[in-house]
Amino acid sequence: MAQNLQITASAPDPALLDLPWDVPLEEWPADRIAALPRGISRHVVRFVRLSGRVIAIKEIGETVAYREYALLRQLKRLDVPSVEPVGVVTGRLDPDGERLEACLVTEHLQYSLPYRALFSQALRPDTLTRLIDALAVLLVRLHLVGFYWGDVSLSNTLFRRDADSFAAYLVDAETGDLHRQLTEGQRTYDVDLARTNIIGELMDLAAGELLDPEIDEVEIGNVLRERYDELWAALTVEETFDTADRWRVAARIESLNDLGFDVDELAMTTDIGGTTVHIQPKVVDAGHHSRRLMRLTGLDVQENQARRLLNDLDSYAAASDRQNDVESFVAHDWLNEVFEPAVRAIPRDLRGKLETAQLFHEMLDHRWFLSEQQRRDVPMPEIVSSYIDNVLRHRRDEQALLGIPAEDLASQDVEDVEPGVDLPPV
Protein backbone atom coordinates (compact mmCIF):
# COMPACT_ATOMS: atom_id res chain seq x y z
CA MET A 1 0.00 0.00 0.00
CA ALA A 2 1.33 3.44 -0.93
CA GLN A 3 2.55 5.49 2.00
CA ASN A 4 0.80 8.64 0.82
CA LEU A 5 -2.68 7.10 0.88
CA GLN A 6 -5.07 9.49 2.61
CA ILE A 7 -8.53 8.65 3.95
CA THR A 8 -10.84 11.48 5.01
CA ALA A 9 -13.88 10.14 6.85
CA SER A 10 -16.53 11.45 9.23
CA ALA A 11 -16.47 8.19 11.25
CA PRO A 12 -13.21 6.44 10.28
CA ASP A 13 -13.32 2.65 10.03
CA PRO A 14 -9.83 1.08 10.27
CA ALA A 15 -11.05 -1.72 7.98
CA LEU A 16 -10.93 0.78 5.10
CA LEU A 17 -7.15 0.40 5.20
CA ASP A 18 -7.47 -3.30 4.32
CA LEU A 19 -9.09 -2.66 0.93
CA PRO A 20 -6.92 -2.97 -2.22
CA TRP A 21 -6.62 0.73 -3.00
CA ASP A 22 -3.55 0.07 -5.18
CA VAL A 23 -5.76 -1.75 -7.72
CA PRO A 24 -8.13 0.03 -10.19
CA LEU A 25 -11.68 -0.33 -8.87
CA GLU A 26 -12.93 -2.23 -11.93
CA GLU A 27 -10.25 -4.88 -11.28
CA TRP A 28 -11.04 -5.51 -7.60
CA PRO A 29 -11.29 -9.24 -6.80
CA ALA A 30 -14.72 -10.85 -6.75
CA ASP A 31 -14.38 -11.89 -3.09
CA ARG A 32 -14.42 -8.21 -2.15
CA ILE A 33 -17.51 -7.33 -4.19
CA ALA A 34 -21.15 -7.51 -3.01
CA ALA A 35 -23.28 -8.48 -6.01
CA LEU A 36 -25.95 -5.80 -5.68
CA PRO A 37 -27.84 -4.35 -8.64
CA ARG A 38 -26.24 -1.11 -9.85
CA GLY A 39 -27.74 1.76 -11.74
CA ILE A 40 -26.13 3.35 -14.78
CA SER A 41 -23.17 5.56 -13.87
CA ARG A 42 -20.55 7.51 -15.84
CA HIS A 43 -17.98 6.33 -13.27
CA VAL A 44 -16.83 2.91 -12.09
CA VAL A 45 -18.89 1.97 -9.00
CA ARG A 46 -18.57 -1.14 -6.84
CA PHE A 47 -20.37 -2.38 -3.73
CA VAL A 48 -18.02 -3.80 -1.11
CA ARG A 49 -18.61 -5.65 2.14
CA LEU A 50 -16.90 -3.94 5.07
CA SER A 51 -17.24 -4.51 8.82
CA GLY A 52 -20.61 -6.24 8.52
CA ARG A 53 -22.14 -3.65 6.20
CA VAL A 54 -22.02 -2.74 2.51
CA ILE A 55 -20.42 0.41 1.16
CA ALA A 56 -20.49 1.91 -2.33
CA ILE A 57 -17.18 3.06 -3.82
CA LYS A 58 -17.01 5.39 -6.82
CA GLU A 59 -13.81 6.29 -8.68
CA ILE A 60 -13.82 9.98 -9.43
CA GLY A 61 -11.53 13.01 -9.64
CA GLU A 62 -10.11 14.18 -6.31
CA THR A 63 -11.58 17.69 -6.37
CA VAL A 64 -15.02 16.41 -7.36
CA ALA A 65 -14.85 13.66 -4.73
CA TYR A 66 -14.19 16.11 -1.89
CA ARG A 67 -16.89 18.46 -3.17
CA GLU A 68 -19.50 15.72 -3.43
CA TYR A 69 -18.54 14.37 -0.01
CA ALA A 70 -19.07 17.83 1.52
CA LEU A 71 -22.42 18.29 -0.27
CA LEU A 72 -23.71 14.91 0.90
CA ARG A 73 -22.73 15.76 4.48
CA GLN A 74 -24.65 19.03 4.22
CA LEU A 75 -27.71 17.26 2.82
CA LYS A 76 -27.67 14.78 5.71
CA ARG A 77 -27.56 17.66 8.20
CA LEU A 78 -30.55 19.18 6.39
CA ASP A 79 -32.37 15.83 6.70
CA VAL A 80 -32.83 15.44 2.94
CA PRO A 81 -33.15 11.84 1.66
CA SER A 82 -29.73 11.02 0.26
CA VAL A 83 -27.02 8.40 0.58
CA GLU A 84 -24.78 8.78 3.62
CA PRO A 85 -21.18 9.80 2.93
CA VAL A 86 -18.44 7.71 4.52
CA GLY A 87 -15.26 9.32 3.23
CA VAL A 88 -12.83 10.14 0.44
CA VAL A 89 -9.71 8.12 -0.43
CA THR A 90 -6.88 9.91 -2.24
CA GLY A 91 -3.18 9.37 -2.93
CA ARG A 92 -3.77 6.01 -4.59
CA LEU A 93 -0.85 4.52 -6.55
CA ASP A 94 -0.64 1.19 -8.36
CA PRO A 95 2.37 -1.15 -7.79
CA ASP A 96 4.23 0.65 -10.62
CA GLY A 97 3.75 4.00 -8.92
CA GLU A 98 1.12 5.19 -11.42
CA ARG A 99 -1.54 7.50 -10.01
CA LEU A 100 -5.07 6.13 -9.60
CA GLU A 101 -8.30 8.11 -9.33
CA ALA A 102 -9.62 9.16 -5.94
CA CYS A 103 -12.64 7.31 -4.50
CA LEU A 104 -15.82 8.57 -2.87
CA VAL A 105 -17.19 6.11 -0.31
CA THR A 106 -20.86 6.09 0.76
CA GLU A 107 -23.09 3.75 2.74
CA HIS A 108 -25.21 1.39 0.67
CA LEU A 109 -28.87 2.27 1.23
CA GLN A 110 -30.49 -0.92 2.51
CA TYR A 111 -33.72 -2.12 0.88
CA SER A 112 -33.20 0.28 -2.03
CA LEU A 113 -33.15 -0.48 -5.74
CA PRO A 114 -32.10 1.45 -8.86
CA TYR A 115 -34.86 2.24 -11.33
CA ARG A 116 -33.78 -0.42 -13.85
CA ALA A 117 -34.41 -3.09 -11.22
CA LEU A 118 -37.94 -1.77 -10.68
CA PHE A 119 -39.17 -0.81 -14.15
CA SER A 120 -40.02 -4.09 -15.79
CA GLN A 121 -43.03 -5.90 -17.20
CA ALA A 122 -43.28 -7.78 -13.89
CA LEU A 123 -44.53 -4.63 -12.18
CA ARG A 124 -48.02 -3.18 -12.44
CA PRO A 125 -48.42 -0.10 -14.68
CA ASP A 126 -49.10 2.30 -11.80
CA THR A 127 -45.70 1.51 -10.29
CA LEU A 128 -44.05 3.90 -12.74
CA THR A 129 -46.33 6.75 -11.71
CA ARG A 130 -45.59 6.13 -8.02
CA LEU A 131 -41.87 6.24 -8.68
CA ILE A 132 -42.26 9.52 -10.56
CA ASP A 133 -44.30 10.88 -7.64
CA ALA A 134 -41.47 9.94 -5.29
CA LEU A 135 -38.90 11.67 -7.48
CA ALA A 136 -41.09 14.81 -7.61
CA VAL A 137 -41.27 14.90 -3.80
CA LEU A 138 -37.49 14.48 -3.55
CA LEU A 139 -36.89 17.29 -6.03
CA VAL A 140 -39.24 19.63 -4.15
CA ARG A 141 -37.51 18.83 -0.85
CA LEU A 142 -34.11 19.54 -2.39
CA HIS A 143 -35.29 22.84 -3.83
CA LEU A 144 -36.85 23.91 -0.55
CA VAL A 145 -33.46 23.73 1.18
CA GLY A 146 -31.76 25.51 -1.74
CA PHE A 147 -30.11 22.52 -3.41
CA TYR A 148 -29.70 22.73 -7.17
CA TRP A 149 -29.22 19.18 -8.47
CA GLY A 150 -28.03 19.92 -11.99
CA ASP A 151 -28.39 16.32 -13.18
CA VAL A 152 -31.83 15.09 -12.13
CA SER A 153 -32.46 11.60 -13.44
CA LEU A 154 -33.73 8.20 -12.45
CA SER A 155 -30.16 6.92 -12.70
CA ASN A 156 -29.09 9.26 -9.90
CA THR A 157 -31.89 8.12 -7.60
CA LEU A 158 -32.56 5.08 -5.44
CA PHE A 159 -36.05 3.95 -4.42
CA ARG A 160 -37.32 2.25 -1.26
CA ARG A 161 -40.82 0.98 -0.58
CA ASP A 162 -42.88 3.31 1.62
CA ALA A 163 -46.23 1.61 2.35
CA ASP A 164 -48.16 1.75 -0.97
CA SER A 165 -45.75 4.35 -2.35
CA PHE A 166 -42.01 4.73 -2.81
CA ALA A 167 -39.45 7.03 -1.23
CA ALA A 168 -36.71 8.47 -3.45
CA TYR A 169 -33.12 9.15 -2.35
CA LEU A 170 -30.47 11.24 -4.05
CA VAL A 171 -27.42 9.16 -4.94
CA ASP A 172 -25.23 11.40 -7.09
CA ALA A 173 -24.56 15.00 -5.97
CA GLU A 174 -21.60 15.48 -8.30
CA THR A 175 -23.22 18.32 -10.27
CA GLY A 176 -25.17 19.78 -7.35
CA ASP A 177 -24.78 23.05 -5.53
CA LEU A 178 -26.26 24.41 -2.31
CA HIS A 179 -27.61 27.97 -2.25
CA ARG A 180 -29.39 30.10 0.31
CA GLN A 181 -32.43 30.06 -1.98
CA LEU A 182 -32.95 28.91 -5.56
CA THR A 183 -34.13 31.24 -8.28
CA GLU A 184 -37.16 30.31 -10.36
CA GLY A 185 -34.79 29.81 -13.29
CA GLN A 186 -32.69 27.29 -11.38
CA ARG A 187 -35.77 25.35 -10.30
CA THR A 188 -37.24 25.40 -13.80
CA TYR A 189 -33.99 24.18 -15.34
CA ASP A 190 -33.78 21.29 -12.85
CA VAL A 191 -37.38 20.25 -13.59
CA ASP A 192 -36.94 20.55 -17.36
CA LEU A 193 -33.73 18.51 -17.19
CA ALA A 194 -35.50 15.89 -15.08
CA ARG A 195 -38.28 15.63 -17.67
CA THR A 196 -35.79 15.27 -20.54
CA ASN A 197 -33.66 12.68 -18.73
CA ILE A 198 -36.66 10.62 -17.62
CA ILE A 199 -38.04 10.47 -21.15
CA GLY A 200 -34.66 9.32 -22.44
CA GLU A 201 -34.23 6.70 -19.71
CA LEU A 202 -37.72 5.31 -20.31
CA MET A 203 -37.09 5.12 -24.05
CA ASP A 204 -33.93 3.17 -23.27
CA LEU A 205 -35.96 0.76 -21.12
CA ALA A 206 -38.55 0.42 -23.87
CA ALA A 207 -35.82 -0.44 -26.38
CA GLY A 208 -34.66 -3.18 -24.04
CA GLU A 209 -38.25 -4.47 -23.63
CA LEU A 210 -38.16 -3.67 -19.90
CA LEU A 211 -41.14 -1.31 -20.05
CA ASP A 212 -44.84 -1.91 -20.57
CA PRO A 213 -45.41 -1.15 -24.29
CA GLU A 214 -48.56 0.84 -23.45
CA ILE A 215 -46.57 3.43 -21.46
CA ASP A 216 -46.08 6.80 -23.17
CA GLU A 217 -42.58 7.93 -22.21
CA VAL A 218 -43.21 11.60 -23.03
CA GLU A 219 -46.41 11.64 -20.99
CA ILE A 220 -44.58 10.21 -17.98
CA GLY A 221 -42.00 12.99 -18.31
CA ASN A 222 -44.85 15.50 -18.30
CA VAL A 223 -46.29 13.86 -15.17
CA LEU A 224 -43.06 14.62 -13.29
CA ARG A 225 -43.40 18.31 -14.12
CA GLU A 226 -47.10 18.35 -13.17
CA ARG A 227 -46.51 16.60 -9.83
CA TYR A 228 -43.63 18.94 -9.02
CA ASP A 229 -45.62 22.09 -9.84
CA GLU A 230 -48.62 20.92 -7.79
CA LEU A 231 -46.56 20.15 -4.71
CA TRP A 232 -44.41 23.27 -4.97
CA ALA A 233 -47.51 25.45 -5.19
CA ALA A 234 -49.15 23.71 -2.23
CA LEU A 235 -46.06 24.33 -0.10
CA THR A 236 -45.14 27.85 -1.13
CA VAL A 237 -47.96 29.80 -2.81
CA GLU A 238 -49.37 32.84 -1.00
CA GLU A 239 -53.07 32.61 -0.10
CA THR A 240 -55.33 35.65 0.36
CA PHE A 241 -58.67 35.75 2.19
CA ASP A 242 -60.97 37.98 4.20
CA THR A 243 -60.15 38.51 7.89
CA ALA A 244 -63.47 36.88 8.77
CA ASP A 245 -62.09 33.62 7.34
CA ARG A 246 -59.20 33.28 9.77
CA TRP A 247 -59.99 29.58 10.10
CA ARG A 248 -58.26 29.19 6.74
CA VAL A 249 -54.89 29.65 8.45
CA ALA A 250 -55.41 26.44 10.41
CA ALA A 251 -56.89 24.77 7.34
CA ARG A 252 -53.77 25.61 5.27
CA ILE A 253 -51.51 24.16 7.95
CA GLU A 254 -53.66 21.03 8.21
CA SER A 255 -53.59 20.55 4.44
CA LEU A 256 -49.79 20.71 4.50
CA ASN A 257 -49.74 18.19 7.36
CA ASP A 258 -51.87 15.88 5.20
CA LEU A 259 -49.18 16.15 2.51
CA GLY A 260 -46.62 15.07 5.11
CA PHE A 261 -45.10 18.50 5.84
CA ASP A 262 -44.87 20.61 8.98
CA VAL A 263 -44.96 24.42 8.86
CA ASP A 264 -42.09 25.79 10.91
CA GLU A 265 -42.59 29.39 9.87
CA LEU A 266 -45.62 31.14 8.38
CA ALA A 267 -45.71 34.74 7.09
CA MET A 268 -49.07 36.38 7.84
CA THR A 269 -49.78 39.99 6.83
CA THR A 270 -52.83 42.23 6.31
CA ASP A 271 -53.50 44.99 3.82
CA ILE A 272 -53.65 48.67 4.81
CA GLY A 273 -57.33 48.51 5.65
CA GLY A 274 -56.87 45.34 7.72
CA THR A 275 -59.65 43.54 5.85
CA THR A 276 -57.56 41.06 3.88
CA VAL A 277 -55.04 38.52 5.20
CA HIS A 278 -52.14 37.10 3.20
CA ILE A 279 -50.43 33.90 4.37
CA GLN A 280 -47.45 32.13 2.90
CA PRO A 281 -45.42 29.25 4.34
CA LYS A 282 -41.80 30.36 4.77
CA VAL A 283 -40.22 27.21 6.20
CA VAL A 284 -41.70 23.74 5.73
CA ASP A 285 -40.18 20.44 6.86
CA ALA A 286 -41.09 17.03 5.50
CA GLY A 287 -41.81 14.15 7.87
CA HIS A 288 -44.95 15.24 9.76
CA HIS A 289 -46.26 11.70 10.30
CA SER A 290 -42.89 10.06 10.85
CA ARG A 291 -42.04 12.59 13.56
CA ARG A 292 -45.37 12.02 15.27
CA LEU A 293 -44.91 8.25 15.23
CA MET A 294 -41.36 8.61 16.52
CA ARG A 295 -42.59 10.78 19.37
CA LEU A 296 -45.31 8.31 20.34
CA THR A 297 -43.57 4.96 19.81
CA GLY A 298 -39.89 5.49 19.09
CA LEU A 299 -40.31 3.85 15.66
CA ASP A 300 -38.22 5.50 12.94
CA VAL A 301 -39.90 4.77 9.60
CA GLN A 302 -40.70 6.32 6.22
CA GLU A 303 -43.42 8.95 5.97
CA ASN A 304 -46.16 6.88 4.32
CA GLN A 305 -45.35 3.89 6.51
CA ALA A 306 -45.78 6.17 9.52
CA ARG A 307 -49.11 7.38 8.17
CA ARG A 308 -50.32 3.79 7.83
CA LEU A 309 -49.12 2.76 11.29
CA LEU A 310 -50.75 5.82 12.85
CA ASN A 311 -54.04 4.89 11.16
CA ASP A 312 -53.81 1.45 12.74
CA LEU A 313 -53.01 3.05 16.09
CA ASP A 314 -56.14 5.21 15.74
CA SER A 315 -58.19 2.11 14.87
CA TYR A 316 -56.80 0.35 17.93
CA ALA A 317 -57.81 3.30 20.13
CA ALA A 318 -61.33 3.30 18.67
CA ALA A 319 -61.76 -0.48 18.98
CA SER A 320 -60.71 -0.36 22.64
CA ASP A 321 -62.80 2.76 23.33
CA ARG A 322 -59.73 4.77 24.32
CA GLN A 323 -60.04 7.81 22.06
CA ASN A 324 -60.02 10.10 25.09
CA ASP A 325 -57.03 8.46 26.81
CA VAL A 326 -53.57 10.02 26.80
CA GLU A 327 -52.27 9.31 23.29
CA SER A 328 -48.80 8.22 24.42
CA PHE A 329 -50.30 5.60 26.77
CA VAL A 330 -52.47 4.18 23.98
CA ALA A 331 -49.47 4.15 21.63
CA HIS A 332 -47.43 2.22 24.21
CA ASP A 333 -50.12 -0.45 24.50
CA TRP A 334 -50.57 -0.67 20.71
CA LEU A 335 -46.84 -1.17 20.34
CA ASN A 336 -46.79 -3.98 22.94
CA GLU A 337 -50.05 -5.68 22.00
CA VAL A 338 -50.22 -5.29 18.20
CA PHE A 339 -47.06 -4.17 16.44
CA GLU A 340 -44.30 -6.00 18.30
CA PRO A 341 -46.07 -9.41 18.54
CA ALA A 342 -46.75 -9.33 14.79
CA VAL A 343 -43.16 -8.45 13.93
CA ARG A 344 -41.68 -11.00 16.37
CA ALA A 345 -43.77 -13.72 14.74
CA ILE A 346 -41.83 -13.33 11.48
CA PRO A 347 -39.23 -16.14 11.25
CA ARG A 348 -35.72 -14.79 11.58
CA ASP A 349 -34.67 -16.02 8.15
CA LEU A 350 -37.47 -14.00 6.50
CA ARG A 351 -37.04 -10.68 8.31
CA GLY A 352 -34.48 -9.36 5.85
CA LYS A 353 -36.89 -9.46 2.92
CA LEU A 354 -38.44 -6.09 3.77
CA GLU A 355 -38.08 -3.30 6.31
CA THR A 356 -39.97 -3.99 9.55
CA ALA A 357 -42.49 -1.18 9.02
CA GLN A 358 -43.10 -2.36 5.44
CA LEU A 359 -43.72 -5.89 6.71
CA PHE A 360 -46.35 -4.61 9.14
CA HIS A 361 -47.94 -2.46 6.43
CA GLU A 362 -48.29 -5.52 4.21
CA MET A 363 -49.78 -7.49 7.11
CA LEU A 364 -52.43 -4.78 7.43
CA ASP A 365 -53.18 -5.06 3.72
CA HIS A 366 -53.36 -8.84 4.07
CA ARG A 367 -55.77 -8.45 7.01
CA TRP A 368 -58.08 -6.32 4.90
CA PHE A 369 -58.10 -8.82 2.02
CA LEU A 370 -58.63 -11.88 4.21
CA SER A 371 -61.39 -10.16 6.17
CA GLU A 372 -63.11 -9.27 2.89
CA GLN A 373 -62.77 -12.84 1.63
CA GLN A 374 -63.99 -14.49 4.80
CA ARG A 375 -66.58 -11.86 5.74
CA ARG A 376 -65.31 -11.70 9.31
CA ASP A 377 -62.84 -9.84 11.48
CA VAL A 378 -59.82 -12.12 11.18
CA PRO A 379 -57.62 -12.04 14.33
CA MET A 380 -54.09 -10.71 13.90
CA PRO A 381 -52.34 -14.02 14.77
CA GLU A 382 -54.20 -15.69 11.88
CA ILE A 383 -53.28 -12.80 9.61
CA VAL A 384 -49.59 -13.04 10.46
CA SER A 385 -49.51 -16.80 9.88
CA SER A 386 -51.28 -16.52 6.53
CA TYR A 387 -49.08 -13.63 5.43
CA ILE A 388 -45.89 -15.52 6.25
CA ASP A 389 -46.93 -18.70 4.43
CA ASN A 390 -48.75 -17.25 1.43
CA VAL A 391 -46.94 -13.99 0.77
CA LEU A 392 -43.64 -13.38 2.54
CA ARG A 393 -42.00 -16.72 1.78
CA HIS A 394 -42.47 -16.08 -1.92
CA ARG A 395 -41.06 -12.55 -2.00
CA ARG A 396 -37.55 -11.73 -3.17
CA ASP A 397 -35.11 -10.40 -0.59
CA GLU A 398 -35.07 -6.60 -0.99
CA GLN A 399 -32.45 -6.11 1.67
CA ALA A 400 -29.84 -7.60 -0.61
CA LEU A 401 -31.26 -8.86 -3.94
CA LEU A 402 -27.91 -10.52 -4.45
CA GLY A 403 -26.73 -11.57 -7.89
CA ILE A 404 -29.84 -10.72 -9.95
CA PRO A 405 -28.98 -8.67 -13.07
CA ALA A 406 -31.50 -5.90 -13.73
CA GLU A 407 -32.21 -7.18 -17.24
CA ASP A 408 -33.32 -10.52 -15.79
CA LEU A 409 -36.05 -8.92 -13.67
CA ALA A 410 -38.41 -8.65 -16.63
CA SER A 411 -38.68 -12.44 -16.71
CA GLN A 412 -39.43 -12.69 -12.99
CA ASP A 413 -42.57 -12.05 -11.02
CA VAL A 414 -41.59 -9.44 -8.50
CA GLU A 415 -44.51 -10.47 -6.34
CA ASP A 416 -44.72 -14.25 -6.86
CA VAL A 417 -47.40 -15.60 -4.50
CA GLU A 418 -49.29 -18.77 -3.94
CA PRO A 419 -52.16 -19.20 -6.45
CA GLY A 420 -55.56 -18.20 -5.14
CA VAL A 421 -54.34 -15.63 -2.65
CA ASP A 422 -55.59 -12.11 -3.36
CA LEU A 423 -53.04 -9.41 -2.68
CA PRO A 424 -53.03 -5.63 -2.71
CA PRO A 425 -51.33 -3.83 -5.60
CA VAL A 426 -47.56 -3.62 -5.65
* CATH, range 113-236: 1.10.510.10
Q: At what angle do helices 217-236 and 126-144 cross, to 10 degrees?
A: 40
Q: In the predicted model, what is the mean pLDDT of the chain?
A: 85
Most confident of 65-69, 124-128, 417-421: 65-69
The 8-class DSSP code of residue 351 comes to G
Distance CA 236, CA 284 (A): 9
DSSP three-state, residue 146: coil
List pLDDT tens digits, range 149-174. Answer: 999 999 899 998 888 888 999 999 99
Per-residue pLDDT band at 3 (split at 50, 70, 90)? low
Query: What sign does the dihedral 294-114-150-24 (CA atoms) show?
Result: positive
Q: For 206-239, give one letter per residue: b (16+ CB within 10 A) or e.
A: eeeebbeeeeebeebbebbbebbeebbebbeeee
Strand-pairing partners, residue 157, are 170
What is the structure's pLDDT at 401?
Answer: 44
DSSP three-state, residue 316: helix
For 44, 187, 412, the CA distances from 387, given in Å and listed in that order, are 40, 44, 21
Q: Do domains 6-107 and 113-236 have the same CATH topology?
A: no
User: What is the residue extent of each domain of the chain?
Assistant: 6-107, 113-236, 239-286, 345-426
Classified by CATH at the fold level, domain 6-107 comes out as Phosphorylase Kinase; domain 1 (3.30.200)
List pLDDT tens digits, range 195-218. Answer: 999 999 989 888 888 788 888 899
